Amino acid sequence: MTYEFRGTAASKAQGEKTCPKCAEQVKAAAQVCRFCGYQFDATTIVAAEEAVRETARKREATALAIREATLAHRLGKWVGRQRAKYRARRPE
Ligand SMILES: [Zn+2]
């Protein structure tokens, strides 16, 4: 049960689609289901490939946003430290 679930999750990560006829996982670019022989039409194939690319783009965008947030956080800390030093050098 647990193994089966992990297998499905891993397959989805590699860019696979679910066959509408037998509900098995097949390659996103597949034209024919390897389990039941269902023929995917070109639109379905293009849409599946686009969905895979979109997922990759979103993943990339998220990674970029995390990097930017981390940099901004570090910069904010650095600016805070410089301000503290500046204030320390100038007694009021
Ligand atoms: Zn099938």
**What confidence score (pLDDT) does residue 11 get?**
47
Map 4-47 to HEC letters: HHHHHHHHHHCCEEECCCCCCEEECCCCECCCCCCECCHHHHHH
Q: What percent of the chain has pLDDT over 90?
A: 57
**What confidence score (pLDDT) does residue 19 get?**
93
65 CA → ligand 1 middle, Å: 38
pLDDT digits (tens, 9 = 90+) for 8-30: 554 445 689 999 999 999 998 89
Q: Are 11 and 17 in contact (CB under 8 A)?
A: no
- Residue recorded with tokens 């647990």: 2
Q: What is the DSSP letter of 1?
A: -
Where are the domains positioned within the chain?
2-89
26 CA → ligand 1 middle, Å: 8
Q: Which residue has better confidence, 82 or 6?
A: 82
Lowest mean pLDDT among 1-5, 13-17, 79-83: 1-5
Alpha-carbon gap, residue 44 to 53, rounded angstroms: 14
Alpha-carbon gap, residue 8 to 5, rounded angstroms: 5
24 CA → ligand 1 middle, Å: 6
pLDDT digits (tens, 9 = 90+) for 28-41: 889 999 999 999 88
